[in-house]
Structure 1
């Protein structure tokens, strides 16, 4: 008879959606599960493996039972160039559709790989945008948990929107609609709601997502109960299944977060950045970054630059390496960088965001309201200027500004998609940017109360992972899977 210590470890299979904002929290999840004694198989592809080499090396160095498995993606079969394996490498809806088709073709290779393992999988946790994994779980006879990269507030909104088709007969995309079944009155428009792949050509894929959401054994989120208890309870009740909130997951995993996925090699001297931060007064610096997927056109770059300059506040601005280099250098060569040299720091390319947001000199964050960035700011007690671009980001803005009351809106009303042409984008003017910066970084009563609330949420985030709700949830999730096995 085997003693208890010899019994196989619970074995979680993690399947992220291959986009930076989706993959990063699942890397953190893998680390979290492994540190709690579970075995983890992390599914990726060859091109995406090269992006996380440092993460893989760190897991090996820490002797964690995480196995990174690169399954070959047949790009040619769906008409994509070889190596085009991440969403940030495709432009246009047709290419996105081709990429999702390629992901679904991993079904057979994944089943074959898992069936050949000595420790058979206990469960699959997969991104909601990888619905084909539901069929894999049923074929293997194991539970499938859907990873939802949204918070509970936005998850509940999205669920009601799509499962109940609230915009089906709404002709005007900007018409405000009261969301039925929400815990309180909330008005949203179709144009500023998560699309769930509802463009022409995505009908089957979208329906599969909704079907697998209904069939999932539970939902895993990168939020924490104390941040949004009303919406956590309402979401759980609405979907009729357990919601396992495990966040803020990056706080569990400081070793991994320190080398978070870069997409490309770092293009900035992080030591120089840290030295600059050290030279600034506590709470004085505004951090400006719009995530990995946003594209900023030259006219908007210029308005941001002039708005930041007019505010006369210290700032650290990340201008991504995949924004047009000629536009960036043109902007900086017009004298802007020289004029703000004493109080501004420009990063061209990748930044170590977790390090920046946790620095004592940080006092605010101008953000696109992606959930990873939002929860990192919340966990570090940093209030925000909200500048949503697309997806669920306008919903996150409502949570930040109206519910948590730790944000100031810059005033953007229209989506900004990475596939849009420059003439289609509504430009936020410099005076609106300057006004938002002064309001967030000011010393009036509202600004001080905003910072106080942000500090309280930071404390709650730490408590959630330090023996609180998130710590309990990870223990209960592992126990649930072990019992099912």
Structure 2
């Protein structure tokens, strides 16, 4: 038996950064299969205490400048007109893929805010940023993702499906285009695309976590994915409605009396009472 299994057998259960309205069926199945209880306490990103736009900046002058630049640019855009594109701090795209992504975002024709790693500019199509003007913003390094996703100007999210990003997108009531790159991101994609119905896959080609096997997703596929999220039509509108409704449920979950509020209260109670239960069991067995 592994050390992980042993640790789980001796634990009260699992604390989950999610909310019951999104994943209760999986919690019930988890209990039936592994006899493990769960406490939903999220989305924790909604506990902002007025500091939502400042997270991650600390004393970093560049991060602070990026925050101001992002929010200033968003203020100039129409409500729900912007697609936000970010693939996390760990992802790595080839120069060829970055070029295709740049051209795809441009071709889609919607304003976009794109966060890229600060890896130089040899990949950038010639004259790319000059052509964009105020129609697009490329941010290198860190960006205030929670604040960006919660801004009225943002209408869609192109994401790698890291769990934090998925929860932040869901909490903001946004439809998503999914582009998983590694580990559990492919499972997270299935949740939002196939179960919740709030997202579409960025493309349907061969997917792999191995660098040498990854396809270069073409600009046309990127543009088509953005259009599915940001464009018109019955399917796109249905997706937006579901996303908005789920976002409202996420916010309600962390309010007083909400499902996650209650989950956290139960967890605190369990921890508080646990020593007494253990001692009571020991006394009874003695």
TM over 0.5: yes
Note if contact 1:214-1:239 (Cα within 8 Å) is conserved in structure 2: no
1:403 matches 2:195? yes
**1:451 aligned to which of 240, 246, 250:** 240
Tell me the residue number matched to 2:226: 437
Note if contact 1:371-1:396 (Cα within 8 Å) is conserved in structure 2: yes
Hey, what's the Cα distance between the residues in 2 that align with 1:427 and 1:212? 42
Tell me the residue number matched to 2:49: 254
Higher helix share: 2
Tell me the residue number matched to 2:268: 478
Tell me the residue number matched to 1:347: 139
In 2 relative to 1, CA 358–437 (structure 1 residues): closer, same or farther, beyond 3 Å?
same
Hey, what's the Cα distance between the residues in 1 that align with 2:226 and 2:125? 24
In 2 relative to 1, CA 415–270 (structure 1 residues): closer, same or farther, beyond 3 Å?
same
Tell me the residue number matched to 2:208: 415
Matches within 5 A, 1:67-216: 207-216=2-11
Tell me the residue number matched to 1:284: 81
Tell me the residue number matched to 1:358: 150
**1:275 aligned to which of 72, 93, 103:** 72
CA drift at 1:255: 4.4
CA drift at 1:264: 9.4
Note if contact 2:17-2:40 (Cα within 8 Å) is conserved in structure 1: yes
Hey, what's the Cα distance between the residues in 1 that align with 2:34 and 2:231? 42
Secondary structure at the counterpart of residue 244 of structure 1? strand
Computed over aligned residues only, the root mean square deviation of the Cα atoms, in angstroms, reads 2.0
**1:336 aligned to which of 116, 128, 131:** 128
Gaps of 5+ in 2: 276-286
Note if contact 2:149-2:169 (Cα within 8 Å) is conserved in structure 1: yes
1:367 matches 2:159? yes
Hey, what's the Cα distance between the residues in 1 that align with 2:258 and 2:129? 45
CA drift at 1:300: 0.7
CA drift at 1:297: 1.4
TM-score of the superposition, structure 2-length normalised? 0.88
TM-score of the superposition, structure 1-length normalised? 0.53
CA drift at 1:271: 1.6
In 2 relative to 1, CA 454–351 (structure 1 residues): closer, same or farther, beyond 3 Å?
same
Hey, what's the Cα distance between the residues in 1 that align with 2:155 and 2:86? 14
Residues 110-161 of structure 1: CA deviation (Å, up to 9, x unaligned)? xxxxxxxxxxxxxxxxxxxxxxxxxxxxxxxxxxxxxxxxxxxxxxxxxxxx
**2:103 aligned to which of 298, 306, 318:** 306
Tell me the residue number matched to 2:284: none
Residues 338-395 of structure 1: CA deviation (Å, up to 9, x unaligned)? 1112310010110000000000010100000011000101011011000011111111
Tell me the residue number matched to 1:463: 252
Hey, what's the Cα distance between the residues in 2 that align with 1:415 and 1:260? 32
Secondary structure at the counterpart of residue 270 of structure 2? helix
Residues paired across the two proteins, number? 271
Tell me the residue number matched to 1:295: 92
Hey, what's the Cα distance between the residues in 1 that align with 2:101 and 2:235? 24
Hey, what's the Cα distance between the residues in 1 that align with 2:155 and 2:37? 36
In 2 relative to 1, CA 221–304 (structure 1 residues): closer, same or farther, beyond 3 Å?
same
Tell me the residue number matched to 2:280: none
Residues 202-256 of structure 1: CA deviation (Å, up to 9, x unaligned)? xx9xx33343234332101100001122222112222212201100112124346
Residues 54-77 of structure 1: CA deviation (Å, up to 9, x unaligned)? xxxxxxxxxxxxxxxxxxxxxxxx
| Stretch deviating more after TM superposition (223-232 or 278-287) | 223-232
Note if contact 1:378-1:457 (Cα within 8 Å) is conserved in structure 2: yes
Gaps of 5+ in 1: 1-203
